Chain A
Amino acid sequence: MALVATIAGLSLLSLAYTPYPSEMMIDKSQFLAPSLSHPLGTDSFGRDVFSRIMVGGRYTLLVAASTVLGSALIGSVIGLTIGYIGGLLSDVVMRIMDALSAFPGILLALIMMAVLPTSDYTIILALLILFVPGYTRIMRSSMLQYRNLDFVDSAKIMGAGSVRIIIRQILPNLLPVLLSALVIGFSNAILAEAAMSYLGFGIQPPAPSWGRMLAESQNYLFNAPWCSIAPGLVIITTVSGFHFLGEGIRKRFC
Chain B
Amino acid sequence: MKAIRKSARFSAIRILWAVSLSLLLATSLMLFGCGNQANSDGNSSADATDAADESPKESRGELRWGSSAEIDSLDPYLAVGGDTKGILFNIFEGLVKSDSNGDMKPALAESFDIQEEGKVYVLQLRKGVKFHNGAEVTPADVRYSFDQALNGSAVYASFEQVEKVDVSDDGVVTITLVEPNTEFLTALTNPIIPADYTDQATQPVGTGPFKFESYTPQQELVLVAHDDYWQEGLPYLDKVTIVYGADTNATVLSLQSGNIDGTGIAASDAATLDLSAYNIVERNSNAVQQLALNNSYEPLSKVQVRQALNYAIDVDEIIDKAFQGYGTPVGTPIIPGLSKYYDSSLTKAYPTDVEKAKQLLAEAGYPDGFDLEITVPSNYVVHVDTAQVIVNQLAAVGINATIKQVDWPTWLEDVYAGRNYQATVISVGGASLSPAAELARYRSTAEDNFYNFNSAAFDAKYAEAVAAIDDTSKIALYKQAQQIISDEAANVYLQDIAGLSAVSKDFDGLVGYPLYGVIDFSLVKKVS
Q: Which residue numbers of A lie inside 8 Å of B, CB to CB?
A: 23-25, 27, 30-31, 44-46, 110, 113-114, 118, 199-201, 204-206, 218-220, 222-224
Contacts and interface: CB of A to CB of B under 8 A. Distances in A.
Contacts of B271: 30-31, 44
A113 B375 CA distance: 12
B427 to A, nearest CB: 17
B392 A200 contact: no
B387 interface: yes
Nearest to B323: A44
A122 to B, nearest CB: 10
Contacts of A219: 248-249, 252-253, 266, 268-269, 272
Nearest to B325: A30
Nearest to B377: A200
Closest 9 A-B residue pairs measured CB to CB? A200-B378, A200-B405, A223-B272, A206-B388, A44-B268, A118-B404, A204-B403, A25-B321, A220-B272
21 contacts: A25-B317, A25-B392, A27-B320, A44-B268, A45-B321, A110-B407, A118-B402, A118-B404, A200-B379, A200-B406, A201-B405, A204-B404, A204-B405, A205-B384, A205-B388, A206-B388, A206-B391, A219-B249, A219-B268, A223-B273, A224-B272
A31 B267 CA distance: 13
B436 to A, nearest CB: 35
A222 B257 CA distance: 12
A206 B403 contact: yes
A201 B321 CA distance: 23
Contacts, number: 70
B73 to A, nearest CB: 25
Contacts of B389: 25, 45
A202 to B, nearest CB: 9
**Most chain B CB inside 10 Å of its own CB: which residue of A219, A220, A224:** A219
Given A31-B271, A219-B249, A204 B402 contact: yes
A21 B449 CA distance: 38
B373 interface: yes
Nearest to A220: B272
B133 interface: no
B322 interface: yes
Contacts of A110: 407, 410
Contacts of B385: 45
Contact of B378 (A44, A114, A199, A206): A199
Nearest to A215: B249
Contacts of B301: none
Interface residues of B, number: 34
A46 B321 contact: yes
A224 B320 CA distance: 18
A223 B252 CA distance: 13
Contacts of B268: 44, 219-220
Interface in B256-285: 256, 266, 268-269, 271-274
Contacts of A206: 388, 391-392, 403
B483 interface: no
Between B248, B320, B387, B405, the greatest number of chain A beta carbons within 10 A of the residue's beta carbon is seen for: B405
A205 B380 CA distance: 14
B455 interface: no
A218 B249 contact: yes
Nearest to A204: B403
Contacts of A113: 406, 410
A61 B341 CA distance: 53
B324 interface: yes
Given A204-B402, A206-B391, A223-B272, A30 B324 contact: yes
Contacts of B317: 25
Contacts of B379: 200
A201 B410 CA distance: 13
Nearest to A113: B406
Contact of B388 (A27, A45, A222): A45
Contacts of A200: 378-379, 384, 405-407
A113 B406 CA distance: 8
A24 B404 contact: no
Given A25-B321, A46-B321, A201-B405, 5 more contacts: A27-B320, A30-B324, A31-B272, A200-B407, A205-B403
Contacts of B252: 219
A195 to B, nearest CB: 13
Nearest to B253: A219
A114 B405 CA distance: 11
Nearest to B248: A219
Contacts of B388: 23, 45, 205-206
A42 B256 CA distance: 23
Contacts of B269: 219
Contacts of A205: 384, 387-388, 403, 405
A219 B271 CA distance: 11
A223 B391 CA distance: 28
B384 to A, nearest CB: 6
B524 to A, nearest CB: 25
A44 B382 CA distance: 12
Nearest to B269: A219
Indicate the member of A114, A204, A220 with the most B CB atoms within 10 Å: A204
Nearest to B381: A216
A191 B378 CA distance: 19
Contacts of A222: 256, 272
A222 B273 CA distance: 9
Nearest to B317: A25
Interface string B229-258: 000000000000000000011001100100
